[in-house]
């Protein structure tokens, strides 16, 4: 059976036709191979839909100004490739650039394709490449909090987009359960257990004072009574650490499911140590000659791979470092995947170069990508909401979901670029006004649905195969052009690890539809125009719903 391939869009065909004709013209007119021809949006919409700097690339060879070359190429293209007039309504030389305005028929073709393919528009067939995607790791010492909610939104949106674009994606969460924080958790939980009968029992100074430990402590007392009151710490500490760890991990998993995020594996860091995976990673580096000993500790030669200093793998007492666990964990992922992506929290900037260096050392240069999700500041209007797990003043992700809902949280968390801090305004997220971005986008979808409900059902059905020649109004063409961009937008999200592009695109589609709705009477009296505008509305509804679905946000038919 032959493997599916993704069909080129009418826009892709148009740009390819121009690039081919331009390359032939350059070769014939200047007797040099044409440089790579790239297209970008002009700075101002009145300059057209696309521009290319081809003339600038030829200026040195031709020893003429870019504007002279651009004007000459435009004239030669008109003579040599008159077929371009079918797909470009104008081709102009402006300030050395060649500006292109796409003919309406190309945008009409994009709308027709959307109507044919429905929610599969923009989807790519399986490409045989596997991506390992890690995001949302946490210490099992408390409920999930806001910054983890942002990491989860970013990661889950990327996973959806990657799968949509044909990748086999394996999603993992890391349970950081191998460090001293579990002892601190066990002592904190034990103090809460003892305080039920002895309120003055001291709380450990390095403990976790949040109220979230009280229900767990009450469960232990219901199960065990006073069993742990008179025993040594060496007896009760492992029990309370494990009990707290298991209970809190179960809560974290439940919160993730509630947030619409599903992981293929919840990987225990402690399990990597217990199963020998950590030792295996160390021995692999040792076998490659990339380790050395100094003052009883084992070091990785990280400076040979771009890091600012060599990194300790095993301390002088034999205990492995967190970086040592990273080596073992990533060694397996790098072997099993074509692309490894880590979405890390805001305190991990120093990890980027050492992780990439580690991947190179293990024999997989360029296979590992790291994105840092920046910090979240919670606001309620102009007032900042305090957050500190150690101080017991935490804002759990469940609290955010309770207050603003999954849709608003998922959308707000991905709006800024991953590397930009986020000020999350809880008050704004609840407002049913256009200033609320998620409301604005969802209202756009609901408005389309309302138009379709008002239309006659025979008209809606006929619109799916209607002629679109009558769509020539600027607002109609602007919306059609925006819809045609969808496959490129999702591909850019995947390539650049940039889910904010999806949120921005959803707002742009909603904005273009609102403009179209305002300037064009959709249920026009003239039947051909009415059907064409209903067809455009159906296409907009389909693309907007798919965009929201990739972001983990619902697309309501009414608000």
Q: What is the pLDDT of residues 416-469, one digit of tens each?
A: 999 999 999 999 999 999 999 999 999 999 999 999 999 999 999 999 999 999
Q: Which of 79, 190, 57, 147 is nearest to 421 (CA)?
A: 147
d(CA 499, CA 155): 9
Q: Please report, for residues 302, 306, 341, 448, the alpha-carbon distance to residue 366 in angstroms, rounded to integers and kept in the order given.
A: 16, 13, 11, 44
Whether 434 and 551 have beta carbons less than 8 Å apart is answered as no
Asked whether the predicted pLDDT for residue 54 surpasses 90, the reply is: yes
Q: Which of 313, 309, 304, 349 is nearest to 331 (CA)?
A: 313
Cα angle 412, 549, 155 (rounded to 5 degrees) comes to 60
d(CA 173, CA 262): 10
Whether 146 and 400 have beta carbons less than 8 Å apart is answered as yes
The pLDDT tens digits for 222-233 are: 999 999 999 999
Whether 497 and 369 have beta carbons less than 8 Å apart is answered as yes
The pLDDT tens digits for 186-237 are: 999 999 999 999 999 999 998 999 899 999 999 999 999 999 999 999 999 9
Cα angle 437, 438, 440 (rounded to 5 degrees) comes to 65
Asked whether the predicted pLDDT for residue 68 surpasses 80, the reply is: yes
Question: 325-359 as b/e, with b when 16 or more CB fall inside 10 Å?
Answer: bbbbbbbebbeebebbbbbbbeeeeebbebbbbbb
| Helix (H) / strand (E) containing 423 | strand 422-425
Asked whether the predicted pLDDT for residue 389 surpasses 70, the reply is: no
Its pTM stands at 0.91
Asked whether the predicted pLDDT for residue 412 surpasses 90, the reply is: yes
Query: In the prediction, which pLDDT does 2 show?
Result: 31
Query: In the prediction, which pLDDT does 387 show?
Result: 63
Query: In the prediction, which pLDDT does 87 show?
Result: 95
Whether 329 and 301 have beta carbons less than 8 Å apart is answered as no
Q: Please report, for residues 268, 278, 280, the alpha-carbon distance to residue 274 in angstroms, rounded to integers and kept in the order given.
A: 10, 8, 11
Q: What is the β-pairing status of strands 168-175 and 130-135?
A: parallel
- CA 455 to chain centroid, in Å, comes to 36
pLDDT band at 393 (very low <50, low <70, confident <90, very high): low
Question: CB count, 10 Å around CB of 230?
Answer: 8
pLDDT band at 346 (very low <50, low <70, confident <90, very high): confident
Query: What is the residue extent of each domain of the chain?
Result: 10-102, 433-550
The pLDDT tens digits for 107-165 are: 999 999 999 999 999 999 999 999 999 998 888 999 999 999 999 999 999 999 999 99
Query: In the prediction, which pLDDT does 3 show?
Result: 35
| Helix (H) / strand (E) containing 267 | strand 265-268
CA trace torsion 522, 523, 527, 533 (10° rounding): 20
Q: Which of 249, 270, 235 is nearest to 136 (CA)?
A: 249
Mean pLDDT of the region 57-63: 88
Helix (H/G/I), strand (E/B), else coil: 291? strand
Asked whether the predicted pLDDT for residue 326 surpasses 90, the reply is: no
| CATH assignment of 433-550, among 3.40.50.2000, 1.10.40.30, 3.40.50.10490, 1.10.730.10 | 1.10.730.10
d(CA 204, CA 175): 23
d(CA 302, CA 486): 41
Query: In the prediction, which pLDDT does 388 show?
Result: 54
d(CA 546, CA 554): 10
Report the mean per-residue pLDDT for the chain. Answer: 92
Instruction: Give me the architecture of the 10-102 domain, per CATH.
Output: 2-Layer Sandwich (3.30)
d(CA 441, CA 73): 42
d(CA 510, CA 417): 20
The backbone region for 318, taken as left when phi is positive above 0, alpha when psi lies in -120 to 50, beta otherwise, is left
In this structure, what token pair is assigned to residue 80? 């040599």
pLDDT band at 6 (very low <50, low <70, confident <90, very high): low
pLDDT band at 391 (very low <50, low <70, confident <90, very high): very low
Asked whether the predicted pLDDT for residue 522 surpasses 50, the reply is: yes
pLDDT band at 25 (very low <50, low <70, confident <90, very high): very high
Whether 324 and 313 have beta carbons less than 8 Å apart is answered as yes
Query: In the prediction, which pLDDT does 427 show?
Result: 95
Query: In the prediction, which pLDDT does 156 show?
Result: 98
Query: In the prediction, which pLDDT does 517 show?
Result: 98
d(CA 452, CA 540): 12
| β-strand partners of 267 | 174
pLDDT band at 390 (very low <50, low <70, confident <90, very high): very low
Give the contacts of 141 (CB within 8 A, at least 6 positions apart): 181, 182, 184, 185, 208, 244, 248, 389
Asked whether the predicted pLDDT for residue 272 surpasses 90, the reply is: no
Helix (H/G/I), strand (E/B), else coil: 18? helix
The pLDDT tens digits for 481-510 are: 999 999 999 999 999 999 999 999 999 999
Query: In the prediction, which pLDDT does 510 show?
Result: 98
d(CA 410, CA 278): 35
| β-strand partners of 293 | 298
């Amino acid at each position: 059976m032959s493997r599916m391939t993704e069909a080129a869009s009418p826009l892709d065909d148009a740009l390819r036709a121009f690039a081919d004709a331009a390359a032939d013209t350059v070769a014939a007119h200047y007797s040099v191979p044409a440089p790579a021809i790239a297209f970008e949006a002009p700075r101002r919409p009145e300059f057209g839909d696309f521009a290319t700097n081809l003339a600038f690339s030829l200026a040195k060879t031709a020893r003429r100004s870019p504007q002279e070359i651009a004007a000459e190429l435009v004239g030669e293209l008109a003579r040599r490739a008159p077929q371009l007039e079918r797909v470009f309504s104008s081709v102009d030389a402006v300030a050395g650039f060649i500006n292109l305005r796409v003919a309406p028929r190309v945008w009409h073709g994009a709308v027709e394709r959307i109507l044919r393919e429905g929610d599969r528009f923009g989807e790519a067939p399986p490409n045989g490449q596997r991506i390992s995607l890690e995001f949302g790791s946490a210490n099992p010492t408390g409920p999930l909090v806001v910054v983890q909610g942002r990491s989860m939104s970013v990661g889950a949106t990327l996973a959806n987009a990657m799968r949509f674009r044909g990748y086999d994606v394996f999603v993992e969460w890391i349970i950081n359960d191998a460090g001293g924080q579990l002892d601190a958790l066990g002592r904190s939980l034990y103090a809460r257990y003892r305080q039920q009968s002895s309120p003055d029992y001291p709380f450990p100074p390095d403990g976790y004072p949040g109220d979230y430990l009280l229900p767990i402590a009450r469960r232990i007392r219901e199960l065990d009574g006073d069993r742990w009151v008179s025993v040594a710490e060496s007896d009760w500490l492992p029990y309370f650490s494990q009990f707290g760890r298991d209970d809190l991990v179960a809560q974290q998993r439940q919160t993730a499911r509630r947030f619409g995020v599903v992981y293929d594996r919840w990987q225990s860091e402690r399990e990597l140590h217990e199963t020998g995976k950590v030792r295996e990673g160390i021995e692999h580096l040792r076998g490659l000659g990339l380790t050395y000993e100094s003052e009883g500790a084992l070091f990785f030669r990280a400076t040979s791979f771009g890091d600012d200093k060599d990194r300790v793998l095993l301390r002088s007492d034999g205990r492995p470092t967190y970086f040592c666990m990273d080596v073992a964990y990533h060694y397996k992922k790098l072997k099993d995947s074509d692309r490894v992506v880590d979405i890390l929290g805001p305190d991990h900037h120093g990890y980027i170069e050492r992780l990439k260096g580690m991947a190179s050392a293990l024999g997989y240069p360029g296979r590992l990508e790291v994105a840092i999700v920046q910090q979240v500041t919670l606001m309620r209007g102009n007032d900042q909401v305090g957050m500190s797990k150690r101080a017991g003043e935490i804002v759990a992700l469940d609290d955010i979901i309770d207050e603003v809902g999954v849709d608003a949280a998922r959308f707000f968390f991905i709006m800024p670029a991953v590397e930009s801090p986020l000020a999350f305004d809880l008050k704004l997220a609840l407002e049913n006004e256009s200033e609320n971005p998620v409301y604005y986008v969802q209202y756009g979808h609901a408005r389309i649905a309302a138009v379709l409900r008002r239309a006659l059902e025979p008209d809606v059905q006929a619109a799916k195969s209607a002629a679109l020649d009558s769509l020539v109004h600027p607002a109609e063409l602007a919306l059609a052009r925006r819809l045609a961009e969808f496959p490129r937008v999702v591909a850019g999200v995947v390539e650049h690890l940039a889910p904010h592009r999806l949120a921005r695109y959803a707002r742009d589609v909603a904005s273009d539809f609102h403009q179209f709705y305002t300037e064009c009477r959709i249920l026009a009296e003239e039947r051909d125009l009415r059907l064409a505008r209903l067809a455009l509305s159906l296409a907009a509804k389909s693309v907007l719903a798919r965009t929201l679905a990739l972001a983990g946000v619902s697309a309501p038919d009414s608000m």
